[in-house]
Amino acid sequence: MNTPANQLRELLERPGLLLMPGCHDAMSAKLIQEAGFELGFMSGFAVSAARLALPDTGLISFAEMVDQGRNINNAVTIPMFGDGDTGFGNALNVKRTVQGFARAGFGCIMLEDQVMPKRCGHTKGKAVVSMDEACSRIQAGVDARNEGDDILIMARTDARGTHGLEEAINRCKEFAKIGADITFLEAPLSEEEMIEYCSSVPGYKMANMIEHGKTPILPPARLEEIGYKISVFPLTLINASIKAMRESLATLKQGNTPDNILDFEDLKSAVGFPEYYEGEEKYSLERE
């Protein structure tokens, strides 16, 4: 059965690094697929910004994330990763979160070990739960997967920023033992730390490439050589969108029309008018 999870499993089994842009809504997800990428990531940071105009500090709810995810997955046919944050509560909440994300159409859910409410991994003020509680969350996610919800589990730790690299690596090792499909050590500070993580932890690993963040931005070939399987760019599109909108608004404020905008025909095509017109013609009540 060609489920999003099975599509993702097939991609992971292929040789080579997978490049994964982040999206914040259905339109940005559609553009990721249109550009030829084979997978995408619904970023909690980006969704919180686009949907609420609020920071990624645990303010967005489970229901809002699932609703956004359902719209995103309905717009594409490529497998999508979903940001499940801390699972929105205890281990039973984690199971419900995994079930909700699977039924919203995600191929993989990311679960992390921060204290609730969580925050962006490249900002100040982070705190993580104990190793035991972190493992309990991942165990609940793995159990939900194994009980019938076809979705991969990506286990993330933010312990590098609070307890050091060794603790973060140990957590990733435990997550892999529990059965996480992918691990994600957030915010290593150097290429040497990235190498140590990849050489110490088994299984698939993801690198987080945030422009001007704490982790070095490395080219895909180097990330693959180090041992990463996925390279995610979670904020590139929301970053570019905000910059473009600010520039366009500044131009409008001056009484001018922005130059760098789509032709109206291109805009109509981007949002799906041609396909709509085809359907409209197919089901027209007029008959020759």
Query: pLDDT of 164-183, one tens digit each?
Result: 999 999 999 999 999 999 99
Q: What is the pLDDT of residue 122?
A: 75
Q: What is the pLDDT of residues 5-37, one digit of tens each?
A: 999 999 999 999 999 999 999 999 999 999 999
DSSP state of 52: I
pTM, 2 dp: 0.94
Lowest mean pLDDT segment, chosen from 26-35, 112-121, 228-237, 275-284? 112-121
Domain at 4-243, CATH homologous superfamily: Phosphoenolpyruvate-binding domains (3.20.20.60)
CA distance to 24, 50, 146, 240, per residue, from 54 (Å): 13, 8, 35, 17
Of all residues in the chain, the percent with pLDDT exceeding 70 is: 98
Q: Which residues pair with 21 in a beta bridge?
A: 233
CA distance 163 to 1: 42
How high is the pLDDT of residue 120? 74
CA–CA separation, 111 and 98 (whole Å) = 9
